[in-house]
Amino acid sequence: MSGYSWFEGIPFPVMWFQKEIVEDIRNMFVVKEEDLIILTYPKSGTHWLIDIVCLIQTKGDPKWIQSVPIWDRSPWIEYSNGYPVLIHKEGPRLITSHLPIHLFSKSFFSSKAKAIYLIRNPRDVIVSGYYFLGKSNIGKNPESLGTYIEWFLEGNVLYGSWFEHVRGWLSMRKCDNFLVLYYEDMKKDTKGTIKKICDFLGKKLGPDELDLVLKYSSFQVMKENNMSNFSLIKLDLHPNGLNIMRKGTTGDWKNHFTVAQAEVFDKVFQEKMAGFPPGMFPWE
Ligand code: PPS
């Protein structure tokens, strides 16, 4: 199975896509005030953020993240295996989504539910996506990184244009119930970012609890946690599972892009992201 399922011009993974679900999310799904929504463009550090949030909820106790698969702890709302779980779940929910803003639940925009939007340098998103999505049967398989960069710039990759996704969700950045995080800041100061998330969620953690969150959400520990590293999903091209924890670094694109590819990317980035204040993106 390769290729995409399309909905209003946005490519979705065939294996988890149902048109009715994506329609229902926008028009019928009701966000509860006590829900917490984790929003990302794919390959931006979604799994990392989910584990951090789960560990904050358990005050650093790893039992939950070590015994329950990540998609049961914080289901992807747009996936056929996530939506039914969410609509039947009582009480506060953790909800994950890669949806662009215009496809997300309308009810969210008039609710006080909190959401965290995590952004990563799109160049690293490309490299991560090329090695993971491009080599699995979740998306279309490019013959080279150059091809994948072209598709990315055209928005012909899963969930469409990174530029539109980020511009769209960043329009919420001044709302009190909306926290914007950057993967690069998380890497540079993970503890500081965990504290920021705690403040946003109104959670108080002691120093030892914070250290436990840090420990169990580290790249190495997550890489070995089968409940978080994607290895439970058996794909046609990877019958033994594919580990989502590839490298977990910033700036890996420099090892992959040619000078010409980097120049083309810079030009498109400047054009498409014009208008944001200087310093908006930590990698620029
Ligand atoms: S997905 O498939 O879209 O949900 O993927 P996503 O989780 O958004 O992104 C996967 C990348 O995040 C990296 N990752 C981490 N980096 C640092 N620390 C921790 N703990 C961590 N967990 C996941 C993961 O390695 C992928 O990036 P790359 O660059 O491919 O390594």
Do the domain assignments include residue 105? yes
Is residue 162 in some structural domain? yes
- Confidence class for position 242, pLDDT limits 50, 70, 90: confident
Evaluate: CB of 45 within 6 angstroms of ligand 1: yes
Give the whole-angstrom CA distance, residue 127 versus residue 43. 9
Query: Whose CA is closest to atom 16 on ligand 1?
Result: 248
Residue 1 has pLDDT above 60, yes or no: no
Tell me if 126 CB under 6 Å of ligand 1: no
Say if 186 falls within a structural domain: yes
DSSP state of 238: B
Single-letter amino acid code for the residue at 207: P
Is 43 near ligand 1, meaning CB less than 6 Å away? yes
Instruction: Give residue 24's pLDDT band: very low, low, confident or very high (50, 70, 90).
Output: very high
74 lines ligand 1 (CB under 6 A): no
- Residue 282 falls within a domain, yes or no? no
**Residue environment code for 189-206, b if the CB has 16+ CB neighbours within 10 A, otherwise e:** ebeebbbbbbebeeeebe
C-alpha span between 252 and 64 (Å, rounded): 31
Residue with CA nearest ligand 1 atom 24: 245
Q: Whole-angstrom Cα distance, residue 96 to residue 74?
A: 6
- Sign of the alpha-carbon torsion through 231, 233, 234, 236: negative
Q: Is the pLDDT of residue 267 over 50?
A: yes
**Is 0.95 topped by the overall pTM?**
yes
Taking the C-alpha atoms of residue 22 and residue 13, their distance in angstroms, rounded to an integer, is 12
Query: Whose C-alpha lies nearest to ligand 1, atom 9?
Result: 43
- pLDDT single digits (tens) 210-226: 999 999 999 999 999 99
270 DSSP assignment: H
Q: Is 280 among the domain residues?
A: no
Q: What is the CATH number of the domain that holds 82?
A: 3.40.50.300
Number of domains composing the chain: 1
277 in a structural domain: no
Ligand 1 mutation target, pool 16, 41, 48, 232, most atoms within 8 A of CB? 48
Report, as residue numbers or ranges, the catalytic residues: 98
Q: Is the CB of 46 under 6 A from ligand 1?
A: yes
Atom of ligand 1 at shortest range from CA of 245: 25
Q: How confident is the model at residue 2 (pLDDT cuts 50, 70, 90)?
A: low
| pLDDT tens per residue, range 131-187 | 987 667 788 889 899 999 999 999 999 999 999 999 999 999 999 999 999 999 999
CA–CA gap between residue 109 and residue 261 (Å, rounded): 38
Range(s) of the domain holding residue 186: 4-272
**Predicted confidence (pLDDT) per residue in 68-123, tens digit:** 999 999 999 999 999 999 999 999 999 999 999 999 999 999 999 999 999 999 99
Strand residues in 98-145 grouped as ranges (E): 114-119
Interval between CA 110 and ligand 1 midpoint (Å): 31
The answer, yes or no, to whether any atom of ligand 1 lies below 6 A from the CB of 105, is no
**Average pLDDT value over all residues in the chain:** 94
**Residue 264 is assigned to a structural domain of this protein:** yes
Query: Within a domain: residue 218?
Result: yes
